[in-house]
Structures are given as structure tokens and as C-alpha cells.
Amino acid sequence: MELNKNENKLITDYIQTLERIDHLNILKSNYLKNPYLENFILKLSKINEDEKLIEEIINKINYKIISNEDICFSINYYLKLETNEKKKIQNFIYNESEENLMILLKLKTNVILFLVKYIQTYYIISELLYDVSDNEELFYYLYVFIKNNNSKKNNNLKSVKFKITYVLFDDLFDIYMKIYNVLQKNDLLNKNLENEQFDNFTKNIFHPWFNIYKKKIEDNTLDNILQKYEKKKSIFENIICFNTICSN
């Protein structure tokens, strides 16, 4: 699934404003994991063209502006790993032998690409698309995204907000899987959890959301939110139907 021209322009115009972000005073989200931030990530975050972004990332890696320590910390921050896995990954990253150079460059590039895409997504979701003061709507859309296990067959995609939310997190998950696949193919993980990676991704990235989700279940308030937004969706779909197909 891809965003249309107007949706892409909205995202592109907004991303140009991200250079204003202060990593010491980052916007707080009730539902998303705080992004890992360094100055080089903020500088890269205002680039919205993937080809240009990847070129800049590779340059910073080659010129050691991005260190192996940055890469190791980022992997540990965004992937749920056991202690021995962290050690194996660290040894792999620091082993810059001739035979490892290309695979290391691929891994490092995807790690930094994930960092940049995540801070972009974090701000687009938390500031541009949803009102922080009343974010039950975002809670509902994240519920739908997680419940459908990344399924592209979803009626909520008729909502522009949800469509953008879905596309952004879907792109992030694709990069996450590229990182995971490199680690897996090089025997750096204890076991193959490929079928569980979507759950691992969401439970890490949406960890604050899961805490609130559990509390809403305990408080018996979850059903009220779900019914509220399911009803809104139904009304919206009926209006669309009345004005298009059903009116013919």
C-alpha cells in the first residue's frame, strides 16, 4: 500500500519541520516508546527521500560519524534480546574484517534507517495526525493495527489517519525485519522467532500502549472505546455509501 500524492506532500512538508526538535525536550507520547536520539539522527530526520537518506547514512557510517557503539546501543534499544545475544551481536559488529564489511554495512544502514524513520513516525503520529489531549482515536487505531497482525485487509484503511498510521508502521516493520534477518542468518540469535517478530516489534514499540490497554481491561473501559470508534466507522462508511455506490 502506498500514500497518494496529497498524503505524501503532507508528510514531506511536515518532516521538513523536524529540525526544530530538541533531544533534551522531546514530545511525550502516551502510546509509543520514546525514540533513541542523537544529533546525527536529528540531522538525518528532515530527509524524506529514501535514496538520499540512505546515501547520507552510508557516508556517516564510512566516515565514522556513526560509531559501532551507536549501532550496538540502537539494536539493544529496539530489539528484545538476551544477554548472550547482545554479546554475540556486539562481537559481530566490531569484527570489521574484509569478509564482513558488506554485510555489516547493510546491517548498520538498516539500523540507522530504522532510527530515523522511527523519529519521523513518532512525531507524525504524536503531533501531526492525532490530538495529544484526546488520543482515544490513536489508541483505537493502534488496537486495530496490532489485532490485525499487520494485515492489509482492513476496512479502517478508508480513514486517512489510519491509512497513514498503517503505512508508516508497516514500513518500520519491514526495516525491522531486514535487521532481524541479518542477525538470524549470521547465527546471532538463540532461536528462530520469525513467526513472532510482529508481536516482538509491537510489544517493544507500543510498550506504553500495552500498559494502558491492560489497565483499560482491568477497569472495564476497553469495550466502551472500541464500541465508540466502531460506531463512528460505521456511520462514516454509511455516509460514503450513500454518496457514492448506494446512491446509484
pLDDT digits (tens, 9 = 90+) for 137-152: 999 999 999 988 755 5
Smallest CA-to-CA distance from 44 within 35, 56, 55 is with 56
Residue 240 has pLDDT above 70, yes or no: no
Who's near 209: CB < 8 A, 6+ residues apart? Answer: 30, 31, 32, 139, 142
Give me the mean pLDDT over the 18-46 stretch. 88
Give me the mean pLDDT over the 184-203 stretch. 86
Residue type, 67: S
As a whole number of angstroms, the distance between CA 113 and CA 26 comes to 20
Give me the mean pLDDT over the 183-209 stretch. 88
For 97, what's the count of Cα atoms within 13 Å in the CB-facing half-sphere?
5
Residue 90 has pLDDT above 80, yes or no: yes
As a whole number of angstroms, the distance between CA 17 and CA 186 comes to 39
Give pLDDT, residue 238: 41
Place of cell 559481530: 92
As a whole number of angstroms, the distance between CA 168 and CA 179 comes to 17
DSSP secondary-structure letter at 125? I
Smallest CA-to-CA distance from 172 within 161, 160, 180, 182 is with 180
Residue type, 226: L
- Could you tell me the pLDDT band of residue 25, with boundaries at 50, 70 and 90? confident
Give pLDDT, residue 151: 55
Mean pLDDT for the chain overall: 87
Residue type, 24: L
